[in-house]
Amino acid sequence: MGKRAVLSFMTILLAFATGPDTVQGRVELTHFTTVYLPAASQQRPEYDGGSVEKIAYDADGRLIYAVGEEVFHVIRFQEPDTLAIALTRYEDNVEFTDVKFCGGHVFMTVRNQTNPRDGVLRIYKGFTAGQADPFELVDEIPVGMQPDMVSVRENCRTLLVAVEGELFVDGASVVDPEGEIVIIHFPDNFTRDQATIKRLDLNAYNDRYDSLKATGVRFVYTGNGNKFSNDLEPEYITIDESSNKAYAVFQENNAIAEINLETDNITNMYGLGYKQWGYLDASDRDDGIQITYWPIRAWYLPDTLTFHQWEGRKLLFTANEGDAKEYDTPSFDETIRGADIAKSSLGDDIHEIVQDAIDKDSKLGRLQFSKIDGIDQSGKYNALYTYGARSFSIWDVTNPADDKPLPRVFDSGSQFEEMIALHCPYLFNRDDDDVDARSDNKGPEPESIAVGKMNDRLYIFIGIERPGIIAVYSIGSHASQAQFETIFCEGIPDESKPIRDLFDERKIYSMDPEDIR
């Protein structure tokens, strides 16, 4: 989550080129072309303009649909080196959060910025040039508070919408609605009167929180009279067509729910456990890249996930970005910097290396920890948890056990930071201007993930948000033996200029990869 909205252009990466110039392994990514998309506020390409958040591809029509904040675009994709904007539309007081294409129709989730309760799913006919209205709205269906994404089954007749239900202020009232999964069936036409709509609430898990907590599930904001279901916020959904199942990730809750698509019910919820570090760069004040051993924990907190069946196993692939809840009204922030943790509150289980480093800004003093997790009944920390695993993971959902963490078969560990430090150190945990500036927060922030088969291997593409890198891994017969293939850093040149200046000079073609298709 945590959208920075710095993508004001789109990058097309099409490659499985082999050769001696790859960083490592057998594949390399090649840049073909870029189109800079106008932002809603200025109606021109604008740095930090948020003009593209999600994309969808119509292969037959060779069209790309892109949405971001208050604007959506249609882009013609005629040749690998030719992208042209066919349509751009702006709307006030909305936020376009996701887009999918299926069966000649385009599906968009749209948040209402004036009244968050009035989020909708929109259905358009696919873009047709030369028509009076080349992008015709068919209908829109109310789905509820703050829809975040839509996933579409292969038959294009069943859609699943993640209705996040984030906390908001309504006049003098604080409202934290329950998150929901909305399932929409279209037996015939894609219209509201034809649709069958079912809302899957999460109330059944209120009484199960204690057992779920033991698997790594988090109940973050307990104020405002919240039940666990108020705190659950579905972020992303992926579908297993062969088993008639779907999986929804709840990022800040460190949880994944299983959905039965034959009965349209949530059948289980699984925690992701925690990551035991490990090596990471934990400070933005340690004079550069310092990947150091720190015996602390991290919540995985994936932003996106995708399903793929491989070698007889049903697998989920997650990009473990990390995120924390913070509200201005009411005043709430679940994070605390290491230096603000009193040493007297550290229990005997905290490693002496950590106890010595916790108050030093060049070590762990700047790192953001959870102030609600890992605390025993005496009020002391028996474990310290930070946010995001700075990695991607593979999870086996073939036959997971109830009340156990979801089985993890692979995690990339500290490889993202290590490979960026080795091959593109000028991008290491970088914000807009400064290298190492994000090390105290969530580091590289893996944001998006996609998989694709080539020959006898499955390739995994991970978009790394800070500030714009693509990592590629592959697996063969064993998912536990994922192999690093290459890392693509060339989208941001190695120049001693702020990224904003590079954007204005049109020298950037990979920045904050929110989506990969």
Q: Residue 354: pLDDT above 90?
A: yes
State the pLDDT at residue 332.
Answer: 97
Mean of pLDDT values over 222-242 = 98
205/271 Cα distance (integer angstroms): 13
Q: Residue 22: pLDDT above 50?
A: no
What does DSSP assign to residue 104? Answer: T
What's the one-letter identity of residue 198? K
Which tokens is 274 given? Answer: 């925690």
**Beta bridge partners of residue 13, listed in sequence order:** 31
3-state secondary structure of 34: strand
361-379 residue pLDDT tens: 999 999 999 999 999 999 9
Q: Which helix (H) or strand (E) holds 112?
A: strand 105-112
Do 48 and 41 contact (CB within 8 A), yes or no?
no
pTM of the full structure: 0.95
Q: Residue 448: pLDDT above 60?
A: yes
State the pLDDT at residue 26.
Answer: 66
Alpha carbon 355 to its chain centroid, in Å, reads 32
State the pLDDT at residue 39.
Answer: 78
406-424 residue pLDDT tens: 999 999 999 999 999 999 9
Shortest CA distance to 235 belongs to which of 172, 124, 146?
A: 146
3-state secondary structure of 446: strand
Q: Residue 62: pLDDT above 80?
A: yes
Higher pLDDT, 47 or 167: 167
Helices and strands: H and E segment counts in the chain: 5, 37
State the pLDDT at residue 146.
Answer: 97
Q: Residue 15: pLDDT above 50?
A: no
State the pLDDT at residue 27.
Answer: 81
3-state secondary structure of 244: coil
Question: Which phi and psi angles does 472 have, rounded to 5°?
Answer: -125, 130
State the pLDDT at residue 50.
Answer: 77
Confidence band, pLDDT 50/70/90 cuts, at residue 432: confident
State the pLDDT at residue 282.
Answer: 99
Q: What angle do CA 308, 322, 265 make, to 5 degrees?
A: 50
State the pLDDT at residue 455.
Answer: 87
Shortest CA distance to 107 belongs to which of 252, 265, 237?
A: 237
Higher pLDDT, 23 or 155: 155
State whether the Cα torsion 319-315-238-217 is positive or negative.
negative
What does DSSP assign to residue 332? Answer: E
State the pLDDT at residue 37.
Answer: 86
State the pLDDT at residue 506.
Answer: 85
276/349 Cα distance (integer angstroms): 14
3-state secondary structure of 98: strand
State the pLDDT at residue 1.
Answer: 40
State the pLDDT at residue 504.
Answer: 85
Higher pLDDT, 39 or 268: 268
Q: Residue 23: pLDDT above 70?
A: no
Mean of pLDDT values over 383-407 = 98
For the chain, give the mean pLDDT.
Answer: 92
State the pLDDT at residue 14.
Answer: 42
Confidence band, pLDDT 50/70/90 cuts, at residue 261: very high
User: Please, which residues have CB within 8 angstroms of residue 505's CB and are 6 or more apart in sequence?
Assistant: none
Confidence band, pLDDT 50/70/90 cuts, at residue 17: very low
Q: Residue 84: pLDDT above 60?
A: yes
What's the one-letter identity of residue 54? K
93-112 residue pLDDT tens: 999 999 999 999 999 999 99
Confidence band, pLDDT 50/70/90 cuts, at residue 41: low
275-320 residue pLDDT tens: 999 999 999 999 999 999 999 999 999 999 999 999 999 999 999 9
State the pLDDT at residue 30.
Answer: 81
Q: Ranked by mean pLDDT, which of 11-25, 72-86, 258-272 comes out on top?
A: 258-272
Q: Residue 241: pLDDT above 90?
A: yes
430/497 Cα distance (integer angstroms): 13
% of the chain at pLDDT higher than 90: 82
* Residue 190 neighbours by CB distance under 10 Å: 21
Q: Residue 263: pLDDT above 60?
A: yes
State the pLDDT at residue 20.
Answer: 41
